[in-house]
Amino acid sequence: MDARVGHVPEGQDTELHVDAAPVNKEHAQPLYADREKVYPKLVSGKFRSAKWIIMAVTLGIYYLTPWIRWDRGPMAPDQAVLVDFPGRRFYFFFIEIWPQEVYFITGLLILAAVSLFLVTSIAGRVWCGYTCPQTVWTDLFIYIERMIEGDRNKRMRLDRAPWSASKIAKKATKHFIWLVIAVATGGAWVFYFADAPTLARELIAFESQPIVYLSIGLFTFTTYMLGGIAREQVCTYMCPWPRIQGAMFDENTFAVAYKEDRGEPRGAHKKGASWEGRGDCIDCNQCVAACPVGIDIRDGLQLECIQCALCIDACDTIMDRVGRPRGLIGYDSLQNQQARTTGSGARTKVVRPRTIIYSTVLVVVGAIMLIALLLRAETEVNVIADRNPLFVLLSNGDIRNGYTVKILNKGDAATDFEVSIRGLTGASLARGQTRNESNLVLSVPADTLESGKFFVQLPSAEFQRLTSEEKTLQFDIVITDTASKSEVVESVSFKGPVS
């Protein structure tokens, strides 16, 4: 039996009824069965409108972000969001992240994950239903398909029809537009990794690196395959998130649900007939026809359901037509369902241990990141003591230690840093590996790491005296910003022969 052919209930108002059966109904899928194609029907309503807006905004963000300019002065790129691999920097508007600060990105990912947990525990798969790229692009691809081949019934008829010139033309047009979108998707991706206007010119002139074309090709392929061909199978079989988020659901989680207590017993309804003794569900299958993952929402919470809320729109339209209140399918929690059946009146709790913990983690991680970002030093100093040789014995018996001072200037102006020593009596400091050995000032250009070699020399007698008091000699190398007079103090040890 063709799974798509549903039953038309006896006495059904055929105008409202749609011939649809959920292709992904539980147990309708033996292990080696071929995929049944899903033909989602267009619905209209507030959720559909919201989804059009979200689609426009998210796609807009994705395609346009690389083109936003942000002035950082003459030495740095002026692209607002840029992952600069050759320059080893990540630019995000006013933030500039160096490779050693990759923990900011870790923090961002933690924030994203916990936000996802919080939203999921409150309102279910909001991410999946509205903003996941898979959902957005699939929605876009279905929109194209509908534009060319027509709505559900026309598409089904076209697929069943023998090949003809018009069928070929329609299919070819559809796949061509899909490919154009896919290429644009891959094309937008690469702009995040290079100066967008320059790269765009190179791309058109076929002067870009092979890796750029390869990336575009890869993204074209995945966009076309996942959004156009695979669609709901990505969510059902490939994505781990539906499995993970089961852990965030509980009886207080709002999810798109069929209100069984109100809808049952379901059955066909004739215009003007009484609603006494029966449920509000007229079994018209509109919710099934609208579903992009091919399930029947009336079967309850299901793994396949991405909670896109399109069945809500479909059902509300019908409820309006038959004159029953909206919301037979809507956001509802198990707690609410239970309360209605038992009449206990217990309310769904949004504030509960789970959401409190998620919110706390969110606030704490956010605060840590904000503090780290605010306290982020413009100057980073590293002092590396020579390891080979640990010390040098000079001809007059003095001991000399060598240190490499590395100064990272993250600021946007060249800065002079004066190097001095503190806490080692009798010692002298000199610069090595440069013409001017008395110059103890290290000039570091903006956005640069500069290093200098420094020698600390301790007279023999002083070394003997100090080591007789203490086994290891610790002292400070002080790096002073000559302009702001701010200091960075690095504690290092002075090595000498063991007596």
Partner 1 sequence: MTDQEVKPEDEIETTGHEWDGIKEYNNPLPRWWLNIFYITIVWSIGYWVFMPAIPYWAPGGWTYTEGIRELSQRNKVAGQIAEVTAERAAHRDEVANLSLSQIRDSEELYQIALAGGASSFRDNCAGCHGSGAQGFTGFPNLNDDDWIWGGKLSDIEFTIRHGIRWEDDPDTRYNEMPRYLADEFISREEVYQVTEYVLSLSGLDHDAEEAEKGKTIFANECATCHADDGAGMQEMGAPNLTDSIWLYGSDREDVFETIAYARNGVMPAWQNRLDEGTIKELALYVHSLGGGEE
Distance, in Å, from the CA atom of 237 to the CA atom of 190, rounded to the nearest integer, reads: 28
How far, in Å, are 380, 407, 468, 483 from residue 440 at the CA level?
Answer: 18, 13, 30, 15
Mark residues 348-387: x for contact with partner 1 by CB under 8 A, - for none: --------------------------------------xx
- The beta-carbon contacts of 168-173 under 8 Å, at least 24 apart in sequence, are 173/148
Closer by beta carbon to partner 1, 32 or else 94: 32
Rounded to the nearest whole angstrom, what is the least distance from the CB of residue 392 to partner 1 in the complex? 4
Residue 58's identity, in one-letter code, is T
Nearer to partner 1, 11 or 432 (CB): 432
If we measure between CA atoms, which residue out of 120, 376, 64, 97 comes closest to residue 255? 120
Binder among 2, 15, 32, 61 for partner 1 (CB under 8 A): 32
Q: How many CB atoms lie within 10 A of CB 409?
A: 22
Phi, psi (deg, nearest 5) at residue 489: -110, 125
Binding map of partner 1 across residues 385-414, x = CB under 8 A, - = no contact: -xxxx--xxxxxx--x-x------------
Q: Which C-beta is closer to partner 1: that of 342 or that of 395? A: 395
Q: How many helices (H) and strands (E) in the chain?
A: 16, 14
Whether residue 458 contacts residue 494, with contact meaning beta carbons closer than 8 Å, is answered with yes
Binder to partner 1 among 302, 448, 460, 464 (CB under 8 A)?
A: 460
CB of 26 to partner 1, least distance (A): 9
429, 453 Cβ separation under 8 angstroms = no
Beta carbon of residue 393, minimum distance to partner 1 (angstroms, whole number): 6
Q: How far apart are CA 455 and CA 389, in angstroms?
A: 13
Contact stretch for partner 1 (CB under 8 A) within 47-55, 220-228, 407-415, 432-440: 432-440
The correct pick among 106, 209, 420, 433 for binding partner 1 (CB under 8 A) is: 433
Please, what is the minimum distance in Å from the beta carbon of residue 484 to partner 1?
26
**Where does this chain touch partner 1 (CB under 8 A) — which range of 45-53, 320-328, 377-385, 433-441?**
433-441
Q: Please report how close the Cβ of residue 407 comes to partner 1 at its closest, in angstroms.
A: 16
At closest approach, how far in Å is the CB of 34 from partner 1? 9
How distant, in Å, are the alpha carbons of 67, 89, 176, 184, 202 from that of 198? 11, 18, 27, 17, 6
Smallest distance, partner 1 to C-beta of residue 395, A: 4
Q: If binding means CB under 8 A, how many residues of this protein chain bind partner 1?
A: 21
CB of 331 to partner 1, least distance (A): 27
Q: Is 445 in the site for partner 1 (CB under 8 A)?
A: no
Residue 140 in 3-state DSSP? helix
Which residues, numbered 185-224, are part of the site for partner 1 (CB under 8 A)? Answer: none
Strand duo 89-92 + 399-409: pairing: unpaired
Cβ neighbors of 274 (< 8 A, separation 6 or more) are: none
Q: Length of the chain, please?
A: 499
Nearest residue (CB) to partner 1, 42 versus 385: 385
Q: Is the dihedral of CA 365, 106, 491, 446 positive or negative?
A: negative
**Alpha helix ranges (H) inside 264-352:** 286-290, 310-322, 334-342
Phi, psi of 400 (to 5 degrees): -125, 135
Residue 428 engages partner 1 in binding (rule: CB under 8 A): no
Closest by CA to 453, choosing from 386, 389, 395, is 386
Is the CB of 5 or the CB of 393 nearer to partner 1? 393
| Residue from the set 243, 435, 471, 485 that interacts with partner 1 by CB under 8 A | 435
* 455 scored as a contact of partner 1 (CB under 8 A): yes
Closest CB to partner 1 among residues 58, 302: 302
| CB contact at 8 A, 477 and 443 | no
294: Cβ–Cβ under 8 A, 6 or more apart, which residues?
22, 23, 24, 36, 38, 232, 304
Q: Which residues bind partner 1 (CB under 8 A)?
A: 27, 30, 32, 386-389, 392-397, 400, 402, 432-435, 455, 460
